[in-house]
Amino acid sequence: MPYAYKSADLMAHAMVIDLTQHEDIELVSMGDLHSTDAHHDAAMVDSAIKWLGKAPNRYAVVPGDVFNTAIKGSVSLNLSEPGTPTVHGRHILADKLRVVKDRILGAIPGNHDDRQTRDAGEDSVDALCRELGIPYFASGEMFRRILVGAYKGSNKGPVIYNGYMTHGNAGGRLPGGKANSLLAMRNIVHNADFYLNGHGHTPLVVPDVAWRFDDKGNVREQKQMFISCGSSLKRAGYPVQKGYPPLARVWPTLTLHGDGHKHMTATVEH
C-alpha cells in the first residue's frame, strides 16, 4: 500500500455564544480602529458605542489593528505627528468600551498590533481585553458558533450560524483586490456562514453561495456572507503622501436572523 499519513482532524474549536434570547442579532465589525494614531476618528467609535447601547440585541467584534503601533521602520511613523502613546491610548479606549464590554464577542490583533508583540514582547490588545473581560484570540483568527432565536413551532432548536474572522492581508488601492482576498477566506474554512476581515480599510459586503455535498450525496446550496470592515482612520499623513484615495469611514452591520430559518442581512449605512 502507498504511504499515507493520518493527521489529527481537529484543527480548531469554535466558541459557542448562546444568544437565543434574541429573535435576531445585529453584529458590527469595529475593525482597524488605529486608536492611537493622530488621525483616529474618535467620534466614530463614540457613535458605535452609543449605537450598541440603544438595543439589547446589538453586538460587536474587533478584527484587529486596535492600536496604530508605529515603531521604528514603520511606514506610518511620523515623529511630527506622534499620536497617543499606546499605554495612554489603551486606557482611553478601555474607559470608552467599558459600558459595552459585554456586547463585544471577541477581538483579534492586526498587523499593527503584532509589531509591538513581535518587537517588544508586549501585547496591548491582550491587556485591553483582559481588563474588560473581552474574549481575545492572540493567534489572529476567531471561530464563532452563534445561536440565535429558535425554529418556531418545531423542535429543531435555535438557528445556528458559524463565523470565521481574521484580520486579513489585502493591500492595494482598488477594492477588487481586497474583495478577492476577502473571498479567499473560504480557502481556510470552506463552510462558514459568514466571514469577517479588516486591514484593507474598505467596507465591503459580498453575498455569495457555495454548493456542497451533504452526507446523503445531495448537492445543496449554502448562502454565505463576506464582510470587510472599514476603518476609523481619517485620510491624512501616510495615505496622503502615498496618494491613496479617501475611504468611507463606516462599519458594516451583519444581522443574523433566528425567526424560522437561517438567513442573513448585511447593511452599510452611509
Q: Nearest 10 degrees: CA dihedral of 223, 251, 200, 181? A: 0
Residues 6+ apart with CB under 8 A from 259: 23, 24, 149, 152
Q: What is the mean pLDDT of residues 40-69?
A: 94
Q: Quick one: pLDDT band at residue 9, thresholds 50, 70, 90? A: confident
CA dist., res. 69 & res. 56, Å (int): 33
CA dist., res. 44 & res. 108, Å (int): 20
End-to-end CA distance of the chain: 61
* Cell numbers linked to 113: 498590533
C-alpha dihedral sign at 188, 59, 205, 16? positive
Say what the pLDDT of residue 8 is.
Answer: 79
What H or E segment, with its residue span, contains residue 228?
A: strand 219-228
> Which residue, chain included where needed, has cell 489572529?
140
Say what the pLDDT of residue 113 is.
Answer: 81
The alpha carbon of 115 is separated from its chain's Cα centroid by a whole number of angstroms, namely 19
Distances (CA, A) of 61 to 7, 102, 135, 137, 211: 32, 11, 10, 12, 28
Can you state the angle between helices 124-132 and 86-97, rounded to 10 degrees? 30
Q: Quick one: pLDDT band at residue 206, thresholds 50, 70, 90? A: very high
CA dist., res. 257 & res. 149, Å (int): 8
Say what the pLDDT of residue 153 is.
Answer: 57
C-alpha dihedral sign at 30, 35, 40, 46? positive
Q: Where are the domains of the chain?
A: 15-267
Question: Per residue in 138-175, pLDDT tens?
Answer: 999 999 999 999 765 556 789 999 999 999 887 667 88
Asked if residue 75 has pLDDT above 60, the reply is: no
* Geometric angle at alpha carbon 210, from 206 and 214, rounded to 5°: 150
CA dist., res. 106 & res. 60, Å (int): 8
Class of domain 15-267 as given by CATH? alpha beta
Say what the pLDDT of residue 79 is.
Answer: 45
Say what the pLDDT of residue 210 is.
Answer: 96
Residue 250's closest CA among 38, 6, 29? 29
Distances (CA, A) of 249 to 40, 64, 161: 11, 16, 27
Kindly report whether the global pTM for this prediction surpasses the value 0.85: yes
